[in-house]
Amino acid sequence: MNYSRYICQIKKVIFLGLCSILLFSCAQKKLDIPVTDVKPLWFKSDGHVRFVDGLYQTVPHLFFDINPQIDLESRELNAVILVEKDGDNHYELDLVSGRRVYTHSYCREDDVWKSYARSIKNPPFHYAFVPRLINRQKEPQKVLIFGDKKYLTYSQKKITDEFVRVRIIGGIVEQFCDSYPCDKLNTWRDSVVLVAVAKDDPEYKDVKSITKLKSFINWKRIKAFLENGRGRTIIAKNTYFPAYRVYGNSVAGKSMKFALESGHLFSIDELNTLGRTCEALYEKAWSMRDKVLKEKESFKSVFTRFYNEYWNSFNTCKQYVRSPRIKDNHEKHWFFEFLHAFSLANRLGYVYKCNFQSWEPNQVNYDGELLFKQEDFFRTCSDEELNSAFPRAVNLLSSLAKTSKRYYKYIEYEQGRDTYNEKIYNWIGLTGKSQSCAAQNKTREIEIFPNDVEWKRLILETKKEDMILR
C-alpha cells in the first residue's frame, strides 16, 4: 500500500494543525532540488597552493570550483549565496581564498537619500554572486535572489559550501562613489547587478521581469537597502554623504549578455593555465632573494628588472591565486605579502619616492589618467631606500584605514559572526564605508597587518643580511 498517498487522502479529516503539517510534508516531497555541494578541485594539489581546513580536508573554492552553467535560453544559472535574506551580517567573497569575509553587522538606518520614510536594517533578499564570472571592475558578478529558501536548498542551517539554481529576470545599475561628491575626476562607478528568482518557487513562477517583480514586493525597500545597507561616506559625527545609488533596470536577456560581454567568464583551460603560470611566477619572485643574498646582485637592479618584466602579471596573480602557504614557509609567505602591499599602494594611486622615502599621492590629469609611473622613481633609489618602501607601504595602508575611502586589510583567520570560521591569509579590499548607526564602533584603532611581522631587508652587505627594518 502507498502510505504516503493514503495519508494525503485522509488529511481533510484530521485535526487542522496536523493537517497543515502533512500538507507541508507532501509539498516538500515534490520539490526536485538537486544536490549542490561543491567538489573541491582548485586547492586539491600537492604544491603550495593546497588549502585545507582544521580537519585536513581540502577546502572548496566557492568561485573557481563551481560551474555556473549559464543558459541564455532558459535564463538560468548557478549562484552562491553570501548573505541570506534577513541575515544580520554582511559578507563579501575573497577571490584568492574563495571564502566569505565578514565586513560588518547591519544596524537600523535611515535612508541617506531621504526618499524612503521607514528605517532599514536587514536585506530583504538573498545577496549572491555568479561563480567564475567577474564584472568589468574584476569583482564577482553580483546577483540578488528573491524566493523562499526552501525552494533553493534542502539545508535547514546557514548556506555554506553549496550553490543554488536561479532564473534571471533582469538587471539593475548600481553606482558607487568612493569620495563624495563625485565629479569629472572622481565619477560614480557603474556596475550591473543581476536580479533573479528561485526557479522552483511557485510564488515567482510567472515573474519574468523586474516590472512584474515590483508588483509582488516593496521595491522602494529593496532600493533603500541597496543604497544604505553597505554604508556611506562619513566625514564626522552627523556628517555623511551617499556612497551607493541604484537606478534603472533592463530585461533578463540583455542583462545577462551585458554581464558576460563586459565582464569575463573563466573557462577550465584558463583556470588551469592561470594556476600553473602564477605558481611559476611566484618562484621567480622568490628568486629575487637568492640573487641578492647569494649572487650578490643589488636589490635595486633585481627588483627593478622584476617590476619592469613581471609586475603586471604578478598583480594579476595576486588577485586570484594564493601565494606560498604560511604553514609551508613562514618567511616566504610574508615576503609575498610585503610585495603585495607595495602593489596595493600603487593600485590605490600612490607612488614611492626614494628621495623622500615615502609614499606620495600620484597626480591625475583631466582624463583621469595617472601622470607618474612608479618605475621612473627607481632610477634614483639606493638599496636602503628601496627596502624602506615595503614596510612603509604597510604603514600607508594602515593610515588609509582611518579614512572613509577604500583600503586593504590583511586577514589571517576570519572568525566572522556566523560560525563560518574561514582561513583567509590575504589582503582584503574594503570600501571604507560605514553605516552611520555603527560609526561609533570605528573609534578604535584598526589593525590591518600583524604587528609582529617585519620586512627583512635585502642588501648586499653580508653583515646586514639578517638586519630587520621596522
For residue range 325-370, list pLDDT tens digits in order: 888 899 999 999 999 999 999 999 999 999 999 999 999 887 778 8
Residue bearing cell 627594518: 469
Residue 87 inside a domain? The answer is yes
Say whether both 63 and 189 belong to one domain: yes
Kindly report the backbone phi and psi dihedral angles of residue 248, in degrees, each rounded to the nearest multiple of 5, phi listed first.
65, 170
Say whether both 172 and 215 belong to one domain: yes
Sorting pLDDT into bands at 50, 70 and 90, what band is 151? very high
Query: 114 - beta bridge partners?
Result: none
Say whether both 62 and 24 belong to one domain: no
Residue bearing cell 522552483: 200
pLDDT digits (tens, 9 = 90+) for 428-439: 999 999 998 876
Q: Report how far Cα 435 is from the mean position of its chain's Cα atoms.
A: 19
How many Cβ atoms are within 10 Å of 405's Cβ, its own excluded?
A: 16
DSSP 442-462: GGSPP--S-TT--EEP--S-G
pLDDT of residue 322: 92
Report, in angstroms and rounded to the nearest whole number, the Rg of the chain calculated over CA atoms.
25
Say whether both 381 and 364 belong to one domain: yes
Average pLDDT (206-221) is 96
Q: How many domains does the chain have?
A: 3
Domain that holds residue 388: 268-401+448-469
Q: Which of 240, 265, 290 delimits the end of a domain?
A: 265
Say whether both 283 and 373 belong to one domain: yes
Residue 390 inside a domain? The answer is yes
Say whether both 254 and 276 belong to one domain: no
pTM of the model: 0.88
pLDDT of residue 7: 37
Q: Taking Cα atoms as reference points, which of 448, 467, 451 lies closest to residue 388?
A: 467
Say whether both 281 and 372 belong to one domain: yes
Which of 185-189, 204-208, 376-380 is predicted with the least confidence, judged by mean pLDDT?
A: 185-189
Residue 73 inside a domain? The answer is yes
Cα distance between residue 429 and residue 94, in whole Å? 9
Contacts of 201 (CB under 8 A, 6+ apart): 147, 148, 151
Say whether both 249 and 284 belong to one domain: no
CA torsion angle 329 334 337 338 (round to 10): -140
pLDDT digits (tens, 9 = 90+) for 124-133: 999 999 999 9
| Helix, strand, coil share of the chain (percent; to 5) | 35, 25, 40
Instruction: Choose between 23 and 427: higher pLDDT.
Output: 427
pLDDT digits (tens, 9 = 90+) for 382-430: 999 999 999 999 999 999 998 889 999 999 987 656 656 688 999 999 9
Residue bearing cell 548607526: 437
pLDDT, mean over the chain? 87
Residue 443 inside a domain? The answer is no
Say whether both 297 and 325 belong to one domain: yes
Kindly report the backbone phi and psi dihedral angles of residue 424, in degrees, each rounded to the nearest multiple of 5, phi listed first.
-115, -60
Residue 224 inside a domain? The answer is yes
Cα distance between residue 457 and residue 386, in whole Å? 9
Q: Do the bridges between strand 76-83 and strand 164-176 make them parallel or antiparallel, or are there none, so unpaired?
A: antiparallel
Q: Which of 241, 265, 289 delimits the end of a domain?
A: 265
50: CATH: 3.90.80.10
Sorting pLDDT into bands at 50, 70 and 90, what band is 21? very low
Residue bearing cell 485535526: 15
Asked if residue 289 lies in contact with residue 335, where contact means CB atoms within 8 angstroms, the answer is yes
Cα distance between residue 194 and residue 178, in whole Å? 22
Say whether both 374 and 230 belong to one domain: no
pLDDT of residue 417: 63
Say whether both 77 and 89 belong to one domain: yes
pLDDT of residue 60: 93
